[in-house]
Amino acid sequence: MNILLLGYGKMGQLIGEIAESRGHNLAGKINIDNREDLDQLNSSNVDVAIEFSQPEAAVENIKWCLEKGIPIVSGTTGWLSQKPDIEAMTKEKNGTFFYASNFSIGVNVFFKVNEFLAKLMNETSGYKASIEEIHHTAKKDAPSGTAITLAEGILNNNSSLKDWYLLEGNGEKENELPIVSKRIDPAPGTHIIRYQSEIDDIEISHTAHSRQGFALGAILVAEWIKDKKGVLSMNDFLSF
Ligand SMILES: NC(=O)c1ccc[n+]([C@@H]2O[C@H](COP(=O)([O-])OP(=O)(O)OC[C@H]3O[C@@H](n4cnc5c(N)ncnc54)[C@H](O)[C@@H]3O)[C@@H](O)[C@H]2O)c1
Ligand SMILES: O=C(O)C1=N[C@H](C(=O)O)CCC1
């Protein structure tokens, strides 16, 4: 396949390496300083675009792909307030848009375990839920996209928590789920779910040892998505 990389930083470069090792051709490696290269690219020389850029660049990149009729796989976090517009545009253009806050297969197993645990804890009293995420200091957004997905998995299965919030300092909120974001190098991504009571604590965690799982997951999705249409997610891609 001819793969266009929109964003050629830490993730884009690793995705490029793995994609070439799987026999794909890189149609372009676009960063903030060479966007004029996009003028040469369209659906006749790009089969799929993989977008890992920055929160303020993602929407423009995704819209460009939808305008050109190029299927787009996006992993950029921190722009999700604009996702409804992108979903509407995907339908209007009969395009292909795939988003995941985390492409690692292990994290997607963890998402399911989180939902199952949240259902059990909803039947149990005395526990206080919280999320902690740890990432490298170059990360632009907080909380992480993965932590937001985990929070949604808890809120959808909990009858007393009304929303999540980013906990900074001592400002705890009643009936809301706190997320603590820590920035420590070189952490590629750690997420911990805690339920704490006076009697005991329950804790589940996922720790990425590198960015390999995120990059490989995005390429597997790009290979799968080629002939598909619509707004798609990891729930469509995975069979569990
Ligand atoms: N979904 C996942 O599985 C997953 C995994 C890792 C990272 N991420 C997310 O992916 C994004 C990128 O992460 P990273 O570690 O590669 O960041 P990075 O800072 O290393 O790379 C981002 C790149 O985007 C480029 N860029 C900025 N503006 C651009 C524009 N307008 N057009 C094209 N490129 C532009 C920058 O030049 C930079 O090279 C972040 O939002 C991060 O949270 C998601
Ligand atoms: O390195 C990052 O930035 C990561 N971002 C994603 C997130 O915000 O959840 C996935 C993990 C790595």
**Domain with 65 in it: what CATH number?**
3.40.50.720
| Residue whose pair of structure tokens reads 């690692």 in the numeric block | 104
- What pLDDT does residue 170 have? 83
- What pLDDT does residue 184 have? 98
- What pLDDT does residue 133 have? 98
The verdict on 88 and 134 lying in the same domain is: no
pTM given for the model? 0.97
- What pLDDT does residue 240 have? 84
- Distance in Å, CA 54 to ligand 1 centroid: 5
CB 75 near ligand 2, within 6 Å: no
The verdict on 139 and 82 lying in the same domain is: no
- What pLDDT does residue 74 have? 98
Reported ipTM: the value is 0.99
- What pLDDT does residue 227 have? 86
- Distance in Å, CA 29 to ligand 2 centroid: 20
The CA distance from 101 to 73, in Å, is 11
- What pLDDT does residue 171 have? 84
CB 77 near ligand 2, within 6 Å: yes
- What pLDDT does residue 169 have? 85
Which residue ranges of the chain lie beneath pLDDT 50? none
- Distance in Å, CA 205 to ligand 1 centroid: 24
Please state whether beta strands 96-99 and 72-74 pair in parallel, antiparallel, or not at all (unpaired): parallel
The verdict on 188 and 227 lying in the same domain is: no
Beta carbons within 10 angstroms of residue 163's beta carbon: 10
- Find out whether 187 and 134 touch, Cβ atoms under 8 Å: yes
- Find out whether 76 and 98 touch, Cβ atoms under 8 Å: no
24 noted as active-site residue: no
Range of the domain at 166: 105-207
User: Relative to the alpha carbon of 218, which ligand is closest?
Assistant: 1
- What pLDDT does residue 137 have? 98
The verdict on 71 and 37 lying in the same domain is: yes
User: Relative to the alpha carbon of 102, which ligand is closest?
Assistant: 1
The verdict on 129 and 185 lying in the same domain is: yes
CB 102 near ligand 1, within 6 Å: yes
The verdict on 19 and 75 lying in the same domain is: yes
- What pLDDT does residue 222 have? 98
139 noted as active-site residue: yes
DSSP structure class, residue 142: S
CB 139 near ligand 2, within 6 Å: yes
